[in-house]
Amino acid sequence: MFKNKYTPYLFILPALILILIFVYIPIVQNFYFSFFRMNSYSPGQTFIGLDNYKDIFQNDIFYTAIVNNVWYAVISLIVQVGLGLVLAITLESKLLGKERKFFRTIYFIPSVIAIAAVGLMFYYIYNPNLGLLNAVISMFTEGNFRYAWLGDPNTAIFAVIAMSQWQFTGYIMILLIVAIQKIPQELYEVAEIDGASSFQKAIYVTIPQIKEMILVTSVITVIGAFKLFTEIFVTTRGGPYDTTQVLGTFMYKTAFFYDKMGYAAAIAVIIFFITFTTSVFQIKFANKGED
């Protein structure tokens, strides 16, 4: 059937070459860079071993960033996966009719908008003088409520995290809905014969049946939390006083603001280890779900 033994390679090589040049080689290089002191304009580079890593672990911003990434992950797990699950189960329950499609579509819309656009949208929503949030709060309180949600170090990171919950809860919800739709109806019929309430059906049938997808969405959420960049960059740029830095923005600032490429590469290696190990879990569970 396939006479020429080189034919398969002709199909595969273009893609493979592109992936190697633009994904694999840079990532390997990034590891290499992380052992050097170097910058973007001058060609010189000095081997300094693990010094970049030592410096990172002594840098306060690194710990601020990690804490912010973790906050983002934890809150996103609770809201996007937790609330997303409640919404998915509710929208798929028999209680609702055709209206479920309407809600599903509406809740998903924010996730198709560019993060940069959503970020700027909330930049204005949170604006102390003319933003939507303060204007709405002012309707319920006496006088003018003027709070700088993104300007106050106590609330800035949480304001950004809240924005992401607004954007991505519907996305996680859809993934869970698709999983729920694959559950065989007979399981519910059996549960109904046994007299299960809709709450019991959710706990004893739905959740165990979509266990894998819950894990996958949890992992996606955690990886997303450590890849965080755009949300912060377009709203606070890591400020005020570096309180909203995350690993991604910390790396960017180190590379392109302080021009310390090797140091930034070492931060990227740390991002790599966190996201890669979490990703390995995802693949493991995703494959399990397909079997």
Partner 1 sequence: MKNQFEKSRFRLLKKSIIIFFLIVLTLLVLYPMYWVVISSLKTNSEFLSSPLAFPSELQFENYIQAWQQGFSRYFFNSILINIVSVVLTVSVGAACAYGLARFKFKGRNIIFYTILAGLLLSPQVAVLPLYKLLVRINLYNTYWALILPYVGFRLPFAIFLMRSYFLSIPREIEESAYIDGCNSFTTFIKIVLPISKPIIASAAIVTSRFFWNEFLFALIFIEDSAKYTIPIGLSHFRNTLTTNYTGMLAGITIAALPMVILFLVMQKQFIKGLTAGSVKG
Does residue 238 interact with partner 1 by CB under 8 A?
A: no
What is the spatial distance between Cα 34 and Cα 51, in angstroms, rounded to a whole number? Answer: 9
Collapsed DSSP state (helix, strand, coil) of residue 36 = strand
Asked if residue 73 lies in contact with residue 218, where contact means CB atoms within 8 angstroms, the answer is: no
Q: Exactly one of 78, 190, 203, 283 binds partner 1 (CB under 8 A); which one?
A: 283
Closest approach of Cβ 143 to partner 1, in Å?
16
Amino acid identity, position 17: I
Q: How many CA atoms lie within 13 A of 150 on its CB side?
A: 27
What is the spatial distance between Cα 41 and Cα 158, in angstroms, rounded to a whole number? Answer: 37
Question: Judged by CB under 8 A, which stretch of 4-12, 51-59, 65-73, 201-209 contacts partner 1?
Answer: 4-12
Question: Judged by CB under 8 A, which stretch of 47-55, 56-64, 86-94, 141-149 contacts partner 1?
Answer: 86-94
Of the pair 186, 246, the CB lying nearest partner 1 is at 246
What is the spatial distance between Cα 157 and Cα 231, in angstroms, rounded to a whole number? Answer: 10
Does residue 11 interact with partner 1 by CB under 8 A?
A: yes
Asked if residue 263 lies in contact with residue 52, where contact means CB atoms within 8 angstroms, the answer is: yes
What is the spatial distance between Cα 132 and Cα 148, in angstroms, rounded to a whole number? Answer: 12
Task: Please give the radius of gyration of the chain, using alpha carbons only, rounded to the nearest integer.
Answer: 24
Site string for partner 1, 122-151 (x = CB under 8 A): xxxx---xxxx--xx--x------------
Site string for partner 1, 14-53 (x = CB under 8 A): xxx-xx-xxxxxxx-xx--x------x-------------
Does residue 174 interact with partner 1 by CB under 8 A?
A: yes
Q: Exactly one of 42, 58, 95, 143 binds partner 1 (CB under 8 A); which one?
A: 95
Q: Exactly one of 56, 69, 110, 244 binds partner 1 (CB under 8 A); which one?
A: 110
Question: Judged by CB under 8 A, which stretch of 47-55, 56-64, 121-129, 150-158 contacts partner 1?
Answer: 121-129
Does residue 203 interact with partner 1 by CB under 8 A?
A: no
**Residue 212: partners with Cβ closer than 8 Å, 6 or more residues away:** 179, 285, 286, 288, 289
